A = this chain, B = another copy of it.
Amino acid sequence: MAARGQAGPATIEDVARAAGVSRSAVSKVIRDAYGVSPAMRERVTAAIERLGYRPRVSARGMRGKTFTLGIEIPDLANPFYPLLLAGATAALSGTPYQLVIAPADPAHSEGYRALQALVDRQVDGVIAVSPLVEQAWLSEVSATVPLVMLGRHDRAEEYDTVVSDDEAGALTVMRHLFDLGHRDIAHLTGEPEDSDPGFGVPQAIRLQAYRTAMQEAGLGDRINIAHVPGVTAGAHRAALRLLAETERPTAIVACHDEPALEVLRAVADAGLTADDVSVAGYDGIAIAGHPGISLTTMRQDGERMGRRSVELLLERLAGRTAPRHEVVEPDLVVRSSTRPPRALGGR
């Protein structure tokens, strides 16, 4: 922003005129292309400075690139997603690329809409976080623009993926609870249709791991799954229901930290404590470490996941064609929300 010729912001034409050179020359300087003499660069740069010229991304996008990467995110209210963004933003600093976020409500069709909006805007690369769009559709998108699917376990040929090892993570949580002595462990997750493991959604993988762990521990008959519509929104009520059962579970595992917070709230509302019911979450959001919450959780390195996603995109833009599928290992953070069950010597 600075003084400009007449109507509206300066264009490349204005700069060319001011510097006494051609448009092409200015363009070369901007793009740092081959064939510019130091003298010319000097004059053009000065003119750019003087006019406060900024190239318009729309115009650049017509032929070249937009220097924009888009990330589609469902539900920014979930504090795990900002972690991804922090990592993505960090990975982009120092590059000429700008990150733009398209928010999408978690509702089904919203993911499509938001991703489509990014594609319409000619972004140079897309990161998709919405788990509920069809793989085939993503493949089609990736024919137009490089794409990274973040968080879902599908090893597509057409695009890259970055995921956390949800199976190992969920099994680790279960082992932790078994080690504490729990046998009546309930699992709280989303609606059944989203939990089909074929879809590759994290919560589906975690649910499957829960089943496997219970079976292998010989507790197949104690499997207790609460499918909650809207997960976080319905978690409080669902948890109250679990807590009112005659054979109350001694531990509840939620598919994410956010619903786990609601479970904790329900535990408090029911007049119970962590000595009565252990609660474990999954994600490792920051508030889980607050002394008033102190939630045991599997911490996913969201920042790393966001960073790697961007790096994979940049590699694609640099020419890579073979798909890559990255796995990030989560780690268990034990806090005071999980304790031995009362009957076995819990204080």
Contacts and interface: CB of A to CB of B under 8 A. Distances in A.
Interface in A261-284: 261, 264-265, 268-269
A85 B76 contact: yes
A327 interface: no
Contacts of A82: 76-77
Interface string A302-346: 000000000000000000000000000000000000000000000
A26 to B, nearest CB: 16
| Interface size, A (range) | 35 or more
Contacts of A292: 264, 268, 290, 292-294
Interface in A108-122: 116-117, 119-122
A214 to B, nearest CB: 29
A66 interface: yes
A101 B101 contact: yes
Contact of A293 (B9, B77, B286, B293): B293
A100 B68 CA distance: 12
Given A103-B101, A292-B292, A59 B57 contact: no
A89 interface: yes
A1 B137 contact: yes
A96 to B, nearest CB: 11
Number of copies of this chain that the complex holds: 2
B116 A58 contact: no
A141 interface: yes
A62 interface: yes
A215 interface: no
A94 interface: no
Interface string A73-84: 000110100110
Interface in A1-50: 1, 8-9
A58 B54 contact: no
A71 B60 CA distance: 22
Nearest to A118: B100
A287 interface: yes
Nearest to A58: B61
A99 interface: yes
B264 A141 contact: no
Contacts of A141: 1
A156 interface: no
Contact of A57 (B85, B121, B261): B121
A211 B341 CA distance: 51
A102 interface: yes
A344 B270 CA distance: 32
B58 A144 contact: no
A282 B286 CA distance: 19
Nearest to A73: B101
A196 to B, nearest CB: 23
A222 interface: no
Contacts of A117: 98, 100
Interface of A: 1, 8-9, 54-59, 61-62, 66, 68, 70, 76-77, 79, 82-83, 85-86, 89, 98-103, 105, 116-117, 119-122, 137, 140-141, 144, 261, 264-265, 268-269, 286-287, 290-294
9 contacts: A1-B137, A58-B66, A70-B100, A76-B82, A100-B100, A100-B101, A100-B102, A292-B293, A292-B294
